[in-house]
Amino acid sequence: MIKTKRFILRDYREKDLEDHVVILDNFEVARWLSSSIPIPYTKRDGRKFIASAINDNVHKITNFTLAIENKATGKHVGGVKFFGLQKETEIGYWIGEEFWGQGIGYEVLAAMIKYGFKTGKIEEIVAQTAEDNEASKAILRKAGFKEAGEIPKEYARPSNSPSMSKDNSEINSRGGCSVFFRLSLIKWKKHTQPAKKKTIAKKTLAKKTMAKGK
């Protein structure tokens, strides 16, 4: 379990099924993901996904997948996933459309990245998103990722919207997984260092202020 300011990243549970299916059965969410997420997304797909996520986490087989739960409401709002825990590991995440624009993606991604590097197993994290998904690209850059050219063959996979729009009328080759990003442990440490210094400075100032008030 990983905790952020507003969320708990925890193992999937069977009770997550309803919210999980609602999130991934939404074309506006699924269109940015790979074709491993079918459209439409049914309860049968959800049960299979959750069972696999639980099994992987319990037996530490391949992937490490966590549900995102709002601390205040207990609401399931999305998921985040490491595709294995090796030296170079891919990360992916999805957030329900109704929760977009609330800074959830960055908050969750930052926490998961920190966890991943702290395991000592990962030296570099990679991610891929859509050319047209400006919000996702902005989140990755804010977390310290840099664009790394074309997607390597070993990471390439079909996207959910490489060819058609929702009404099957418009070609769209810029959806799904088409832009590749990298973040090394060394670069992550440099990226997060300024924030740590600011936090330390604030705490120091607060202590001095309290001391003067005594």
Does residue 54 register a pLDDT over 60? Answer: yes
Residue pointed to by tokens 């604030």: 202
Average pLDDT over residues 81-85: 91
Does residue 110 register a pLDDT over 70? Answer: yes
Tokens of 112: 């998961």
Residue 29: the pLDDT is 93
* Residues 163-177: tens digit of each pLDDT: 444 444 443 444 567
Q: In terms of pLDDT, which residue wins out, 61 or 152?
A: 152
Instruction: Output the average pLDDT for the chain.
Output: 86
Predicted confidence band of residue 195 (pLDDT cuts 50, 70, 90): low
Does residue 159 register a pLDDT over 50? Answer: yes
Least confident of 59-68, 95-104, 161-170, 189-198: 161-170
How many distinct structural domains can be found in the chain? 1
Average pLDDT over residues 68-74: 97
Does residue 152 register a pLDDT over 80? Answer: yes
CATH number of the domain at 100, please: 3.40.630.30
Angle (CA) 65-185-131 rounded to 5° is 65
Q: What's the whole-model pTM score?
A: 0.81
Residue 63: the pLDDT is 87
Does residue 204 register a pLDDT over 80? Answer: no
DSSP type of residue 159: B
Q: In terms of pLDDT, which residue wins out, 60 or 70?
A: 70
Quick one: how far is CA 96 from the chain centroid?
12
- C-alpha distances out from residue 6 to 73, 105, 149, Å: 10, 12, 34
The domain in which residue 187 lies consists of 2-213
Closest CA to 10 of 60, 72, 80, 62: 80
Distance separating alpha carbons of residues 177 and 36, to the nearest angstrom: 12
At residue 122, the 3 state secondary structure works out as: coil
Distance separating alpha carbons of residues 126 and 64, to the nearest angstrom: 15
Contact between 78 and 104 under an 8 Å Cβ cutoff? The reply is: yes
* Residues 123-150: tens digit of each pLDDT: 999 999 988 899 999 999 999 999 998 8
Residue 171: the pLDDT is 39
Does residue 98 register a pLDDT over 70? Answer: yes
Tokens of 92: 């992916």
Predicted confidence band of residue 8 (pLDDT cuts 50, 70, 90): very high
Residue 167: the pLDDT is 46
Residues in the chain: 214
